[in-house]
């Protein structure tokens, strides 16, 4: 979510790249190097491809056309043109530019596959790709163009086009320019592709996988934020933390649920507000509303779904996706590992759970604003209801985002449009699933930010009773960041954006954990 410069170096080729590696390169410009053992394997398998170049038997991607044109045998003198034509024709994306962090993640993951030696690429080509990434040169990739089968063809082709010294890129400072100019400035010599290299550069699920890894990273942090805002809402609405007791959650041993409930217990510990209504004679409420009482059940199920998605991503990070591949024993074999179904399914699943987590957050927020349900607070938490509107329209903003997230939860992976003259007759739409998940993760950040802002206002309005030390620390961080204490109506949008930045940067979690210790 945030971007800084890193001094970290990511070594590719000693095993699968990690989630941390992807984030370090994509968001923090970490330097990439290739392990020498991987380069030796790249050289060995390149020799296999070169041995096939003069073979009278056609080999897909080496001496044939592509897709539905695979039956055409290409003579030796046209092989270089074949690779150039493949990349140029497939760099056919359209629409808005894709975010820099996504393109950098995509490039790292393609480098990771190339470094396995299973693609038959030349060492020179691989090292030039690494040099482009390390120079901060980011090819311009467009929103539309991938069907998520045969890999993310158009997005990867725009990167391969840049490797050839063609097309358009942005430099480290974000300036858009011709690739040739960026390469000259960085001292990089463009690559003239040879047999099989065009396919090796474009035939992978790296774009959708990169977006999956980034989304999982963000969602893991946002789940902690969701527990913080839920604790603040339960506290501010005079709810009970008794329902978060460990023995109650042990009766339903869902692992994520237990972790979320433990977080809520830590966050609400030593709350004066909670203690003020513990006496059953003074508080006649038997049960809290579902949005309060069932917070760990919902957030816990989201946690478990995110961890399942992380397991799938882990399998993909350990994969070498290309077609054909050079097997360890030297065979060159066609396969279908480029199909994005495993990644597409979990991308869609995450959009579903993100929408539901946002939905329960919005319901908790709404309860604060209704005098029939907020237990003694003013209407809309306004300073002078009627003259002031308080957080009335902040909830409208939340509702609009949640409604959008519900639409984004409609799965992309159930759709398929045949392509390539029916050769590629079933596709995953995983890239589309990833693109909508990114919007959903951003929406969740904003929904939680509005709950944070509203719950903090309510906790302030409970004075002189004090909230728990943990939630008080979060309120203090919000105030110190520039969101003022309750008062008459003011321009609210900047306060919401302040809260959004605190959520997205992880500052909310940092403030809470300074009191609670590490949250689950």
pLDDT at 197 > cutoff 80: yes
Which range is least confidently modeled, 30-44, 50-64, 79-93, 146-160? 50-64
* Burial tier of 372 (Cβ tally within 10 Å: 0-12, 13-18, 19+): exposed
Last residue of a domain, one of 150, 175, 204: 204
Nearest to 454 by CA among 477, 475, 476: 475
Q: Per the domain annotation, does 3 fall within a domain?
A: no
Phi/psi class of residue 381: alpha, beta or left (left: φ > 0; alpha: ψ in -120 to 50)?
Answer: left
Q: What's this model's pTM, rounded to 2 decimal places?
A: 0.94
Distance CA 11, CA 16 (A): 10
Contact 413, 208 (CB under 8 A): no
pLDDT cut 90: percent of the chain above it: 79
- Asked whether the beta carbons of 355 and 317 are under 8 A apart, the reply is no
Is residue 77 scored above 80 in pLDDT?
no
Q: What is the pLDDT of residues 210-239, one digit of tens each?
A: 999 999 999 999 999 999 999 999 999 999
Same domain for 139 and 34: yes
Q: Say if 1 falls within a structural domain.
A: no
Q: Are residues 314 and 406 in the same domain?
A: yes
Q: Identify whether residues 220 and 197 lie together within a single domain.
A: no
**Lookup: tokens for 385:** 């209801």
Closest residue by Cα to residue 106 from 210, 195, 29, 22: 210
C-beta neighbour count of 270 within 10 angstroms: 13
CA-to-CA dists, residue 144 to 97, 110, 140, 279, 434, angstroms: 9, 19, 12, 59, 12
| Domain end (from 149, 184, 204) | 204
Cα separation of 130 and 31, whole Å? 9
- Residue 283: which pLDDT band, with cuts at 50, 70 and 90? low
Paired with 419 in beta bridges are: 424
From 60, 144, 308, 396, active-site residue: 60
pLDDT at 2: 47
Q: Does residue 2 lie in a domain region?
A: no
> What digits encode the pLDDT tens for the residues 288-306?
999 999 999 999 999 999 9
Structure token digits, residue 350: 């995450």
Q: Which helix (H) or strand (E) holds 81?
A: helix 79-90
- Could you give the dihedral angle defined by the CA atoms of residues 42, 43, 46 and 51, in that order, rounded to the nearest 10 degrees? -150
Q: What's the pLDDT tens digit per position in 2-46?
A: 455 566 899 999 999 999 999 999 999 999 999 999 999 999 999
Query: Length of the chain in residues, anyone?
Result: 520
Residue 60 designated active-site: yes
CATH number of the domain where residue 509 is located: 1.20.200.10
Its domain, for residue 106, covers: 9-204
Residue the block writes with tokens 């939860």: 409
Q: How far apart are CA 93 and CA 130, in angstroms?
A: 23
Q: pLDDT tens, 413-449?
A: 898 877 776 677 778 889 999 999 999 999 999 999 9
Show which of 204, 231, 261 is a domain's final residue: 204
User: How far is 174 from 218, CA to CA, in rounded Å?
Assistant: 24
């Amino acid at each position: 979510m945030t971007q800084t410069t890193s001094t970290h170096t990511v070594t590719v080729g000693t095993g699968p790249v990690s989630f941390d590696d992807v984030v370090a390169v994509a968001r923090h410009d970490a330097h990439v190097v290739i392990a020498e053992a991987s380069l030796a394997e790249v050289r060995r398998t390149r020799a296999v491809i070169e041995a096939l170049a003069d073979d009278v038997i056609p080999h897909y991607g080496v001496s044939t056309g592509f897709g539905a044109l695979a039956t055409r045998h290409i003579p030796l003198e046209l092989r270089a043109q074949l690779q150039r034509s493949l990349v140029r024709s497939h760099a056919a994306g359209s629409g808005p530019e894709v975010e820099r962090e996504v393109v950098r993640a995509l490039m790292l993951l393609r480098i990771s596959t190339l470094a396995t030696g299973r693609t038959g690429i030349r060492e020179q080509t691989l090292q030039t790709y690494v040099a482009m990434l390390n120079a901060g040169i980011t090819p311009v990739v467009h929103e539309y163009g991938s069907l998520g089968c045969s890999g993310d063809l158009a997005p990867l082709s725009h990167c391969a086009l840049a490797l050839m010294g063609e097309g358009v890129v942005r430099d480290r400072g974000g300036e858009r320019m011709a690739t040739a100019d960026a390469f000259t400035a960085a001292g990089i010599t463009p690559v003239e592709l040879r047999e099989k290299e065009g396919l090796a550069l474009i035939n992978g699920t790296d774009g959708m996988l990169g977006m999956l890894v980034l989304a999982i990273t963000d969602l893991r942090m946002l789940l902690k934020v969701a527990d913080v805002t839920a604790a603040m809402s339960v506290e501010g609405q005079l709810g009970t933390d008794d329902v978060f007791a460990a023995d109650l959650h042990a009766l339903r041993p869902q692992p994520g649920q237990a972790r979320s409930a433990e977080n809520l217990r830590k966050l609400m510990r030593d709350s004066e507000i909670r203690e003020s209504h513990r006496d059953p004679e003074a508080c006649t409420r038997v049960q809290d509303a579902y949005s309060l009482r069932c917070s760990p059940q919902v957030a816990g199920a989201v946690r478990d779904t995110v961890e399942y998605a992380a397991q799938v991503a882990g399998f993909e990070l350990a994969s070498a996706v290309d077609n054909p591949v050079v097997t360890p024993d030297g065979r060159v074999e066609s396969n279908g590992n480029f199909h994005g179904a495993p990644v597409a399914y979990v991308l869609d699943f995450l959009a579903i759970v993100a929408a539901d987590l946002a939905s329960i957050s919005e319901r908790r927020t709404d309860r604060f604003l209704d005098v029939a349900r907020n237990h003694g607070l003013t209407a809309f938490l306004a300073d002078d209801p009627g003259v002031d509107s308080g957080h009335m329209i902040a909830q409208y903003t939340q509702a609009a985002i949640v409604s959008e997230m519900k639409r984004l939860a409609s799965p992309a992976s159930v759709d398929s449009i045949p392509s390539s003259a029916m050769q590629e007759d079933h596709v995953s739409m995983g890239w589309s699933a990833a693109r909508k998940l990114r919007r959903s993760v951003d929406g969740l950040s904003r929904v939680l930010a509005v709950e944070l802002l509203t719950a903090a206002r309510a906790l302030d309005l409970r004075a002189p009773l004090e909230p728990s030390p943990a939630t008080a620390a979060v309120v203090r961080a919000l105030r110190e960041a520039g969101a003022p204490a309750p008062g008459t109506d003011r321009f609210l949008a900047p306060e919401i954006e302040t809260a959004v930045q605190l959520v997205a940067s992880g500052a909310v979690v940092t403030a809470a954990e300074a009191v609670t210790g590490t949250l689950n």
